[in-house]
């Protein structure tokens, strides 16, 4: 992992374009499987989904809790999270995924279920949700593929997609070094907690609940979940 470069280096249009193009090329070579989505770590999928369910349960205990009608799975891949737990909690789950191969696999996988929802084949840096329709917007293991500026813009657009009492949940790897670390293999960054909080605030959002994912292998990045809402 090369931590000499951070997302602030990705500033002008040509560099931003390369950042996104390189990531898209990487994921085009990844098989549309759970193992592919998790970088060969399909063994942690069940632990991940159960941790997410517990976090969501705690959100539903809040005084001003979100409804259970419609959710958005941001950076949905093959629909692992939609099928694995979002559909158990929401009547409608929409999926956003820029890789067409992954989205087709998600449609195929969900075809035999009672899934209701739309499929959006677009990157999060370009996606704008419908106004005021989502109870939960769940975004997991994809924000490292956005520049800081695009992440803030994306979160601002997500704000407009929330219903009253709606929440955005971010679940991401975080560095313990205090620095942004760049992975040139898949063209992504991993941010420290302090920067995540800073970017959330820049989007005029606040963290109302934060929790560490438990029971992951110790050699992996720390993973945290952030429930955030408009200030």
Q: Confirm whether residue 80 is marked as ligand binding.
A: yes
Domain count of the chain? Answer: 1
pLDDT tens-digit profile of 100-120? 999 999 999 999 999 999 999
Domain that holds residue 189: 7-230
Residue from 134, 115, 20 nearest 71 by CA: 134
Q: Confirm whether residue 41 is marked as ligand binding.
A: no
Flag whether 17 is in a domain.
yes
Counts for the chain of helices (H) and strands (E), in that order: 7, 9
For the chain, which residues score pLDDT lower than 50? 1-11
Phi-psi region of 108 (alpha: psi -120 to 50; beta: other; left: phi over 0): alpha
The confidence score (pLDDT) of residue 15 equals 74
Flag whether 11 is in a domain.
yes
Q: Confirm whether residue 124 is marked as ligand binding.
A: yes
The confidence score (pLDDT) of residue 182 equals 97
CATH number of the structural domain spanning residue 79: 3.40.50.150
The confidence score (pLDDT) of residue 13 equals 67
């Amino acid at each position: 992992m090369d931590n000499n470069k951070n997302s602030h280096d990705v500033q002008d249009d040509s560099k931003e374009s390369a950042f996104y193009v390189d990531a898209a090329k990487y994921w085009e070579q990844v098989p549309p499987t759970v193992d592919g989505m998790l970088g060969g770590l399909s063994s942690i999928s069940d632990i991940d989904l159960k941790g997410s369910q517990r976090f969501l349960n705690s959100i539903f205990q809040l005084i001003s809790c979100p409804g259970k009608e419609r959710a958005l799975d941001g950076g949905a891949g093959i629909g692992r999270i939609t099928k694995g737990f979002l559909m158990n909690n929401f009547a409608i789950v929409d999926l956003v995924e820029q890789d067409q191969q992954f989205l087709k696999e998600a449609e195929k996988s969900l075809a035999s279920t009672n899934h209701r929802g739309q499929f959006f084949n677009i990157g999060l840096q370009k996606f704008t949700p419908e106004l005021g329709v989502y109870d939960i917007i769940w975004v997991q293991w994809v924000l490292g593929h956005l520049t800081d500026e695009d992440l803030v813009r994306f979160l601002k657009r997500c704000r407009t997609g929330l219903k009253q009492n709606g929440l955005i949940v971010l679940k991401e790897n975080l560095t313990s070094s205090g620095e942004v670390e760049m992975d040139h293999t898949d063209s992504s960054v991993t941010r420290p907690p302090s920067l995540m909080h800073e970017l959330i605030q820049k989007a005029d959002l606040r963290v109302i609940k934060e929790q560490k994912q438990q029971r992951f292998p110790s050699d992996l990045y720390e993973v945290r979940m952030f429930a955030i809402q408009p200030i």
